[in-house]
């Protein structure tokens, strides 16, 4: 293989594009053909996994092993406990990870991988359920399996018909089909997905509550209704949120005063020096409960064009405040 600069400069771009389109076409055709072959065996496999009290143990060698790792990860993240075991390592002790209540999902395009074949007697001897994902209907793996998911392809997308391309795409798609059918049967929803992905954007949106991001205690800007306007301004400046809650002696929320309210008072020519917080506050401010989702606070801010929402309980006791910066810091928005 010659990879010098002259070879790169001489790249035949039209040929590269043609090969790329041919590859996508071959793989799309392979998936369509596999879809047409799906039958009741697929449903039986889904039913067996749903009844499983153990885990799905995925195995595969070479490129099938790489696909197997992805299939195991997809299953695990969508409600089906699963993990990957390398067949070669299984022969040297890792088979001890697999128990009689588990199910083995073995991937092999040919169905003749030596490392998998060596494990079949032990798997069958333990009475472990075996699902083969293979293109070899009469292969060693298929003959020993309890169920066979047919992933055969007419040809690989590789021009030499050698490199696993269409066959690994078929395996990947069949794994996704299993995961989707199982998550639907389990009633696996967005909140379940978020619990499996706490570090992702969806996880943050569905698992972060107002109480997790709100400011309370000394960070909460608040004054009494009888506070002077100067005291109100000092509190707003000290807490730096552009607003302050106004409460009565029992801590019950009475109103809010914001930078926007200050601007409107100045524009109206109001003499603020002799006024108290209760005189200038906006009564009946919008509030949110501390057990609400933080994303709901974000929606409220967007809907009403505000940058902070007060947090109060059912008795209007002030609990805290959520500012748009808090939501951004928590990556809720």
pLDDT tens, 172-186? 999 999 999 999 998
Taking the C-alpha atoms of residue 253 and residue 274, their distance in angstroms, rounded to an integer, is: 23
Taking the C-alpha atoms of residue 26 and residue 43, their distance in angstroms, rounded to an integer, is: 27
For the whole model, what pTM was predicted? 0.65
Let me know if residue 202 belongs to a domain. Answer: no
Structure tokens at 290: 């501390």
Residue keyed to tokens 């389109």: 21
Specify whether 109 is located in the same domain as 217.
Answer: no
What pLDDT does 94 receive? 87
The mean pLDDT values, 10 residues at a time, for the chain of 333 residues are 57 89 95 96 96 95 96 91 93 88 96 94 93 96 96 92 92 96 83 58 69 94 94 94 94 94 90 90 92 90 91 95 90 78
What pLDDT does 3 receive? 55
What pLDDT does 75 receive? 94
Specify whether 154 is located in the same domain as 78.
Answer: yes
What pLDDT does 191 receive? 63
Nearest to 175 by CA among 52, 49, 20: 49
Let me know if residue 298 belongs to a domain. Answer: yes
Instruction: Please return the burial class of 203, using the count of CB atoms within 10 Å of its CB with bins 0-12, 13-18 and 19+.
Output: middle
Specify whether 45 is located in the same domain as 146.
Answer: yes
Specify whether 100 is located in the same domain as 178.
Answer: yes
215, 323 contact by CB (below 8 A): yes
Q: Could you tell me the residue range of the domain that residue 48 belongs to?
A: 5-188
Nearest to 47 by CA among 111, 103, 127: 103
In CATH, what number is assigned to the domain containing residue 258? 3.10.580.10
Specify whether 264 is located in the same domain as 165.
Answer: no
Let me know if residue 242 belongs to a domain. Answer: yes
């Amino acid at each position: 293989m010659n990879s010098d600069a002259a070879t790169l400069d001489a790249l035949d771009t039209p040929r590269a594009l043609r090969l790329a389109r041919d590859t996508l076409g071959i793989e799309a055709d392979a998936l369509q053909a596999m879809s047409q072959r799906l039958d009741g065996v697929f449903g039986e496999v889904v039913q067996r996994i749903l009844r499983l009290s153990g885990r799905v143990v995925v195995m595969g060698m070479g490129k099938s092993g790489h696909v197997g790792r992805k299939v195991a990860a997809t299953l695990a993240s969508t409600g089906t406990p699963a993990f990957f075991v390398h067949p070669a390592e299984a022969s040297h002790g890792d088979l001890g990870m697999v128990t009689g209540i588990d199910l083995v999902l073995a991937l092999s395009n040919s169905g003749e991988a030596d490392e998998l074949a060596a494990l079949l007697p032990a798997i069958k001897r333990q009475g472990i359920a075996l699902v083969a994902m293979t293109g070899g209907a009469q292969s060693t793996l298929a003959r020993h399996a309890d169920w066979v998911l047919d992933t055969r392809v007419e040809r690989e997308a590789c021009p030499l018909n050698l490199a696993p391309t269409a066959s690994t795409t078929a395996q990947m798609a069949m794994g996704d089909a299993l995961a989707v059918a199982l998550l639907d049967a389990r009633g696996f929803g967005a909140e379940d997905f978020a619990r499996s992905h706490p570090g992702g954007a969806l996880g943050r949106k569905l698992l972060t509550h107002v109480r997790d991001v709100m400011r309370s205690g000394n960070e909460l800007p608040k004054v009494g209704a009888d506070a002077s306007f100067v005291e109100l301004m000092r509190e707003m400046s000290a807490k730096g949120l552009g607003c302050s809650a106004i409460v009565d002696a029992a801590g019950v929320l009475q109103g809010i005063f914001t930078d926007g309210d200050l601007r409107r008072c100045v524009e109206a020519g109001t003499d603020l020096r002799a006024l108290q917080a209760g005189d200038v506050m906006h009564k009946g401010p919008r509030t949110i409960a501390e057990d609400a989702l933080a994303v709901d606070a974000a929606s409220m801010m967007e809907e009403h064009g505000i940058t902070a929402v007060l947090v109060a309980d059912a008795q209007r006791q002030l609990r805290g405040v959520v500012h748009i910066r808090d939501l951004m810091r928590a990556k809720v928005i």
